[in-house]
Structure formats: C-alpha cells, structure tokens
Structure 1
Amino acid sequence: MDQDERRLHSSSFGTVAVAYADHRPDYARAAVGWALGHAPGPRVLDLGAGTGKLTATLTASPASPAAADAQAALDVIAVEPDTAMLTELRRSLPTVRALSGSAEEIPLPDASVDAVLAGNAMHWFDMAVAGPEIARVLAPGGVLAGLWNVMDDEAAWVAGLARAGGSAVIGPRDTPAAWRTATAAMHLPQTGGAAHFGSPEQAEFPHGQCRTADSLVETLATRAGVLVMPEQEQEATLGRIREFLASRPETARGEFTLPMLTGVLRVQRL
C-alpha cells in the first residue's frame, strides 16, 4: 500500500466513528498486561487511540488482585488525529486526558511517558517519522507495543468467513498466521546514540467478542477496506457475508462468540 492509499484508508474511520465505538472489540487484558510488562513506570500513552477501545481496557477495573496491583496506578493519556473519533473517545471516557495529535506529531514533552501502546493502529504510522517521535516521548527503558485483534481461523466457520469476505474485509493482519508474518517484518528505525529500540517480541492471547450475525456484519463494515469501497461493491461484499453467516449453524441464530486472539508486538527503548 503506497502513502496515498494508506492515507485514504487510515482517514476513513471518522465517517463511521459511532459505529466503530459501538461494534469494535476491546483488547484481552492479559495482552495489555504483557505489553506493559517491562514499562518502568505508570505513564501510558494510547497512540492512535480511535474511539478509545484500548484506552477503556487500560482504565478498566482490573480483573484480579494481582492485576489490580500492576494496573491501579496507571496514568493514561490518549492521542488521536481524527476529530470524529476523538469526539467519541471524549464522550465515552470523559475523565481521560484525550489530545488531538498523531504518531508523527505527538503533543507531549520529551521522556514524558513510560509506555506507548497502539491498538490496531501501528500499521498506519509512518515509522520513518513516528519512530524517532515515539522515542522522544518515551522515558529510557520505556516500552512501545502494538496490539491487534485477529480472528482465530482455526475455527472452520471463521476460515469460511475470511473466504467469503475477501482480502478487503479480512486483511493482511486479521488472522493469526497473517498477523505473525506482517508484524515480524515491522521494525523501528534507530534514532541515533542510545535512543533506539531493541529486538521485537511477539505474543498472542485468547480473546473473543459476543456477536450476532447482524452485529458482526456491522463490525466488519467498519474496516478500512470496506469503507473505501464504492457503494455497490460494499453492499455486495456485506451481502455475501450475511449469506454466509445465515448458512452456518454457529452463526445463523442468536448470539455467538467470535473467537479471536489479541496479538502484541513489543519493543523497548534502550
């Protein structure tokens, strides 16, 4: 994808900000805990925060006493470039400090955060510019982690859904094997002297989202590949997905769990 295509796709989400907030999944708490595992302090930046899906997980009440000890004192800041997405974030999480900005221009001082997390967003960053900028705001030893929710296509019906939707719906990071390959090739540029990143680590954590056939279609309709389609093609694609879901006993009636993994790519600022 060239720069123009990347800009077109990454700027498409604001047109469906409310639907994005309503239908996109949150992130596995174990994945968030692992992402923050080496962070030297509690200051966390959610970069490219969208409507606050990852922000909400970071600020939610921890699920266990051990998690409470690790997470209770997090100081979370959200940064998002799209006005409509930022509006939804501020509406749903009014107590969170939420700023307009981007990965390439982060509105924070040097060494002001201990971790930078990005939920389903890092692949939109121009890392030639964003890498040094992220290194600038990270304290020494700070962590950069990208998190992605991917569909677990070990379930036969999920594999069928991927085929029915096509590559515009189920993209290059949307199943576990594809995610591993895509993120393994990601790297951050060295920024000179000691301010560069170490070797990347990957991990995956079980996750799931309660859906109906209709709400899963609504979820998939918020994907960039669908949003940039001509209207007729979009309707045809979503129609194929509806037909597929209606044909499967797992999804034809009532609620079901969409099996997912939250994959994490983590690097540390040296």
Structure 2
Amino acid sequence: MTTDEPGSETARAKSFGAVAAAYDAARPTFPAEALTWILGPGRLQILDLGAGTGKLSAVAAALGHDVVAVDPSEEMLSLCSRLPGVVTMVGAAESIPLAHGSVDAVIVGQAFHWFEHARALPEIARVLRSNGVLGLLWNYADKVVPWVRRLDRAIMGDDFLGGKGDGFDPVPILEQSGLFSPAETTRFRHWHDLDRGGLRQLAQSHSRVAVMTESRREAVLEQINAIYESTARPPEPLRMPYFTSCYRTRPSDLANYRRALDAPVAPPL
C-alpha cells in the first residue's frame, strides 16, 4: 500500500481540505476558559498552528489577542481568513513561516498528533519568545453517554475504543524533546448542539470517513441517520457532550539558548 492510499495516515492527514466546509460547520469550538487557562491575562501575539478553519483562532481573537493562523491546507484557510482579527498564512508545523522569537504563544487545537514532532517542536521553540507558552488542546466526545458511544463506533469502525482513554498524550513527546518545561494539564466540559444535517457533517469531517469509498461512506451515514432518529427530540437540538483536554508548557533553558544562538544577526546600520 502506498502512503497516499485510502486509510493511510498520510491520506487521512491530507483529507481535511476536501471536507473543510463540513469540518467548519459541524466540529465544536473550544471553551474560552480553556484558552484563558493556557494564555493568562493580557493581549498576546499568538500563532495558531495547524489552524484549520479557525475554530481555535476565533476564540483567541474574541479574547482580544492578535492571531496568525498557519495551516498547510489552502481550503481550510480560505474559511479561516474570513474571521475578524485573524491573519492567515499557508505553512507547516515543520517549517513555520515566522521569525525567531516572534510570538508570545503557540496554540494547537486538534492537530498536534499530525505533526512530525522531531522537526515541529524545534520550530515551535524557535518562534516562541523566551517567556512564551505552548498550549495544546483536544476536544473529545464524552463516550460515557450511550448514544455518543454508538456514534463513535459508527465513525471509527475497527479503531473504536469505546470509553477507554482520553486519546493522544503529548507529554512523553514534549519531555523527550528537552525543549519544554514539564507540562501542566487540565480539562473543561462543554456541549455542542447539532441537528440532523450537523450530525452527518460531523461524521463526514472525520479523516477516517473522508478517505472511504463512496459506498462505505454512505453506509456509515445511514448509521448516523439511525442514531439521530433514535436519540433526537426535535425541535430541540441534539446536545453532544465534550471535554477539552488542555496542556501548557514553556520553552526550556535549552530552547532559549538555541534560539539566541541561531537568531539572525541584524545587519550593520
């Protein structure tokens, strides 16, 4: 199997551009209090890395921060660029198109697990200021709720994990890099309202579904329809429970030393 065949990690990572509208319409936002916990007070220069359609950028801008959103997908960024107070740039976590020490914070929502960490973490440390902060966030549906567990099983198929675990853990990767301080972590609860079309779009926005053949995808969507029919009570929206796992960390002394050593020397006047 080539790395770009349906079902491969590369194909799944590249699939989001094709479902940008569904992603933007159906994926939940992030709680403002989660970002406040990461960033603290004051107005900051922020890089939203792997910004996608701007779910996290929108929250940061609404809190009064100056936001640059970077993502490799032009389709995703075309939606993000509509947000007030957000500047967009095409780029990758492994080669960030910003200068040394140019931002107070790097935030990553729902994307860090896609990065090539050996290259991305030095880049993140490079663009952060010495007292900056790296914040990582993931939204997870609360699979303790039976209908949410059925939804996850329909979408994930053989990858279904039921109610086990909270998903990806970035702490070992951060520790191994030596470029960041020990990470602090917490979580926040919130809910996302969906109608029938929104529930279908939520399924379509998942990379696993996006790379399916049309017949397999339609079979999954039929399961989604059945879940909506058995659970929703129109005209009330279907309230999907989420929790947001948050991690915050700062550049280590090693990262700050490397940045100072590698920073471009200003030309003579």
**Category of TM-score, reference length = shorter chain:** 0.7 to 0.9
**CA, structure 1 residues 132+41, in 2 after alignment: closer, same or farther (shift >3 Å)?**
farther
**2:246 paired with 1:256:** no
| Residue 174 of structure 2: aligned partner | 188
Q: Which of 9, 12, 15 is the equivalent residue of 1:12?
A: 15
- Retained in 2: the 8 A contact 1:131–1:189? no
Question: Which of 243, 246, 256 in structure 1 is aligned with 2:229?
Answer: 246
Match of 1:138 in 2: 128
Question: Aligned match of 1:79 in 63, 66, 70?
Answer: 70
Matched residue, 1:65: none
Give CA deviations for 1:69-119 in whole Å, capped at 9, x if unaligned.
xx43x22111111111111111x2154211111100101000111110011
CA distance in 1 between counterparts of 2:240 and 2:12 reads 24
Once superposed, what is the RMSD of the aligned Cα atoms?
2.5
Which shows bigger deviation, 39-48 or 16-25? 39-48
d(CA) in 1 for partners of 2:74, 2:160:
25
Deviates more, 1:131-140 or 1:28-37: 28-37
* 1:184–1:36 CA distance, 2 compared to 1 (3 A): same
Is 123-132 or 150-159 further displaced after alignment? Answer: 150-159
C-alpha distance after superposition, 1:176-204 (max 9, x if no partner): 7532x521554136667xxx101122211
- Alignment equivalent of 2:47, drawn from 41, 45, 48: 45
C-alpha offsets along residues 184-240 of structure 1, whole Å, 9 cap, x if unaligned? 554136667xxx101122211011111113311111211101101111111111111
Count residues with an aligned counterpart. Answer: 247
Quote how far apart the aligned CAs of 1:253 are: 2.9
The one-letter code sitting in structure 1 at the alignment partner of 2:234 is R
Contact conserved, 1:127 with 1:189, CA < 8 A, in 2?
no
Aligned match of 1:32: 35
- Indicate the SS of the match to 1:143: strand
Q: Structure 1 265/112 Cα, relative in aligned 2: closer, same or farther at 3 Å?
A: same
Superposition TM-score, scaled by structure 1 size: 0.83
Residue 252 to residue 162, structure 1, CA distance change in 2 (3 Å): farther
Q: Secondary structure at the match of 2:189?
A: strand
1:146 maps to amino acid = L
Q: Could you state the TM-score of these two structures normalised by the residue count of structure 2?
A: 0.83
Structure 2: which 5+ residue stretches go unaligned?
253-269
Which runs of structure 2 are paired with 1:1-270 in the superposition (5 Å)?
5-37=8-40, 42-60=44-62, 71-72=63-64, 74-90=65-81, 92-167=82-157, 177-179=164-166, 182-183=168-169, 186-188=172-174, 196-248=179-231, 251-254=232-235, 255-270=237-252
